[in-house]
Amino acid sequence: MNKFDEIIERRGTGSVKYDGLEMLYGDADLLPMWVADMDFKVPEEVTKALVERAQHGVFGYTLPDPNHTIAPVEWHEKRNSISYDRESIFFTSSVLCSLNLMIVGLTEEDDTVMMSMPTYGPFVKVPTGAKRNWVGSSLVKSESTYNYDFEEFEKQLIENDVKLYILCNPHNPTGRVWLEEEIERVLEICHKHNVIVISDEVHSDLIMPGHSFTPAMKVARKLGYSEEIVILTAPTKTFNMAGLQVSYYIVENEEYKVKINEAKDYTHVSDLLNSFSYVAMKAAYEHGSDYVDELTSYIYSNYLYMKEVLADKCEFVKVTDLQATYLTWLDVSSLGISEENLRVQLVKSGLAVETSQDFFEINDVCIRINLACPRSVIKEGITRLVSALNELR
């Protein structure tokens, strides 16, 4: 049996994905395929390292040891062929915490932040909470993927006097892996209009067969724009460690570092993580390469299974190409139904997923499905999805 086939009971563990169903969907017995949280165990080496740390028995404040940056640097060199200066890496508890720091530190109140639509919901909520304005530039759907409309992109930057752009690389929720030339065009336009780029690369380890990830910093260096960009990333999506809360940002601009540190003082954000965060990250990065390769293969096989079933039983569903992440984006607009009716029927059919409104998608009625589950769960989930969609025909 493949290790990812194991069913692990998560109810009663404080899991947002499972124990939050009653609060969020009104039914605790739904099959959860919504939040970006995998149903797989971390690599064995991570568990072993955590147990060893726990056996010490003392869990006081943990210093951000400079040596903690070694594992991320070596990981990115090996996986993405890019070298980062250890002095440019800074830790926070989450990517969203880092994003908040960037927005508070690098922009002013009432400045405008832009992101590409559809978008990960908190990309809108974080700047809104920081009293910034936001604007969305819509990606263009083409066949089974999404692309930039660079003319529209630049128009939005100019008309809204945008100060900061959030690049989602790879893109959530569409699963798009941006090509080097696309990232280059984004950076050129932002440079032209003095727009800071924040590149969220938290999904960059999970790249599907036939595709390759291009770090935005690699492109920025080639163009001479490395001091106009900040990278946000973490091992948490890759290894299912969100509950351990470890993330980091990479910034090469010294002025930015000063401003971000001032924002840390203002927001009381600390780089003192918990006693287990660094331990888990180090073990995952040092021993997890084969795990990630196996995981990616497993997720892609789940995607192919789902795609085959939908082609046979729900041919009206437009399945977006899964190029990265374990989150697949399905367009069901052809049903001609309201999103509200869709959500009601999905719950009636026993399925908890997220839909267009969670990603500020206003043009199409879409569903995001989490494929990071054992195959037996995928089979049951797709059965419930097919049932719900055919009820709505």
Give buried/exposed letters for 222-250 (b at 16+ CB in 10 A, else e). eeebbebbbbbbbbbbbbbbbebbbbbbb
Q: What confidence tens digit (pLDDT) does each residue in 58-90 have?
A: 999 988 788 899 999 999 999 999 999 999 999
**Which of these three, 238, 268, 286, is where a domain ends?**
286
Question: What pLDDT score does 191 carry?
Answer: 98
Give the alpha-carbon dihedral of 104, 85, 192, 200, to 10 degrees: -50
In this structure, are 376 and 327 located in the same domain? Answer: yes
The label of the residue with tokens 């729900």 reads 314
In a domain, 101, yes or no: yes
Question: Residue 161 gets which letter from DSSP?
Answer: T
Question: What pLDDT score does 292 carry?
Answer: 98
What span, in angstroms and rounded, lies between the C-alpha atoms of 106 and 103? 5
141 pairs with which residues across the strands?
146
In a domain, 276, yes or no: yes
In this structure, are 37 and 72 located in the same domain? Answer: no
The label of the residue with tokens 């938290």 reads 202
**Residue 31 dihedral angles phi and psi, to the nearest 5°:** -90, 115
Domain CATH number, residue 30: 3.90.1150.10
Give buried/exposed letters for 66-105 (b at 16+ CB in 10 A, else e). eebbebbbebbeebbebebeeebbbbbbbbbbbbbbbbbb
Closest CA to 226 of 201, 191, 260: 191
Domain total for the chain? 2
**Which of these three, 254, 286, 318, is where a domain ends?**
286
Which residues of the chain form beta strands (DSSP E)?
Answer: 31-32, 89-92, 112-117, 133-138, 140-142, 145-147, 162-168, 196-200, 229-233, 247-251, 318-319, 327-331, 351-352, 354-355, 366-370
In this structure, are 194 and 167 located in the same domain? Answer: yes
In this structure, are 109 and 239 located in the same domain? Answer: yes
In this structure, are 281 and 324 located in the same domain? Answer: no
Q: What confidence tens digit (pLDDT) does each residue in 299-309 have?
A: 999 999 999 99
Q: What confidence tens digit (pLDDT) does each residue in 238-287 have?
A: 999 999 999 999 999 999 999 999 999 888 888 889 999 999 999 999 99
In this structure, are 78 and 183 located in the same domain? Answer: yes
Q: Is the pLDDT of residue 17 over 90?
A: yes
Question: What pLDDT score does 136 carry?
Answer: 97
Give the alpha-carbon dihedral of 217, 220, 226, 228, to 10 degrees: -110
Closest CA to 165 of 235, 99, 72, 74: 99
Q: How would residue 391 be classed by pLDDT, with cut points 50, 70 and 90?
A: very high
Averaged pLDDT of the chain: 97
Query: Which amino acid type is present at position 200?
Result: D
In a domain, 39, yes or no: yes
Q: Are 36 and 243 in contact (CB under 8 A)?
A: no
In a domain, 90, yes or no: yes
Domain CATH number, residue 158: 3.40.640.10
In this structure, are 278 and 310 located in the same domain? Answer: no
In a domain, 11, yes or no: yes
In a domain, 50, yes or no: no
**Residue 62 dihedral angles phi and psi, to the nearest 5°:** -110, 120
In this structure, are 255 and 371 located in the same domain? Answer: no
**Residue 184 dihedral angles phi and psi, to the nearest 5°:** -60, -45
Tokens at residue 353, please? 């997923």
Q: Is the pTM of the predicted complex or chain greater than 0.75?
A: yes
In a domain, 357, yes or no: yes
In a domain, 49, yes or no: no
**Residues sharing a CB contact under 8 Å with residue 366, sequence separation 6 or more, in sequence order:** 118, 173, 329, 330, 331, 332, 333, 355, 356, 359
Q: Is the pLDDT of residue 113 over 90?
A: yes
Cα angle value 344/139/82 (rounded, 5°): 110
Question: What pLDDT score does 67 carry?
Answer: 87
117 pairs with which residues across the strands?
138
In this structure, are 99 and 212 located in the same domain? Answer: yes
In this structure, are 210 and 281 located in the same domain? Answer: yes
Q: What confidence tens digit (pLDDT) does each residue in 366-385 have?
A: 999 999 999 999 999 999 99
In this structure, are 34 and 162 located in the same domain? Answer: no
In this structure, are 230 and 321 located in the same domain? Answer: no
Read off the pLDDT of each residue in 325-348 and give the average, rounded to a whole number. Answer: 97
Q: Which domain holds residue 355?
A: 3-43+289-391
Question: What pLDDT score does 275 carry?
Answer: 93
Closest CA to 247 of 95, 61, 46, 75: 95
**Which of these three, 235, 254, 286, is where a domain ends?**
286
